[in-house]
Amino acid sequence: MQTFAQRLREEIEYSGLLQKELADKAGIKKRALDMYLGSQASIPPADVAVRLAKVLGVTVEYLVTGEGKEEFAKRRPFRRLEEDFAALPDDIAKSVEAMVHAIASHK
């Protein structure tokens, strides 16, 4: 059974973020993140866990308990796609959305 630290480490690796980048985006010190990932891993306070989960695109429940892993496993391939899609200008995003819907309707 995975621990909080193992799930956090796995999600950091998947995100492609450096640990320092995650700490900055979550508004915590790198040293605090090191404590959550270390061999004597501690679970962060709820507000910090929420910020970490938000940056990583997962739920706090998943990080803390591992619950919902199946749901994340299904959505995992699409997380980067969602981020890229969100970065598109509106006109291009609408065109891509229309194209995806057209393709999906031809099952």
pLDDT digits (tens, 9 = 90+) for 31-62: 999 999 987 778 899 999 999 999 998 889 99
57-105: pLDDT as tens digits? 888 999 999 888 777 667 767 777 887 888 999 999 999 999 999 998 9
Spatial distance between the Cα atoms of 21 and 32, rounded to a whole number of angstroms: 13
pTM of the model: 0.71
Spatial distance between the Cα atoms of 21 and 8, rounded to a whole number of angstroms: 14
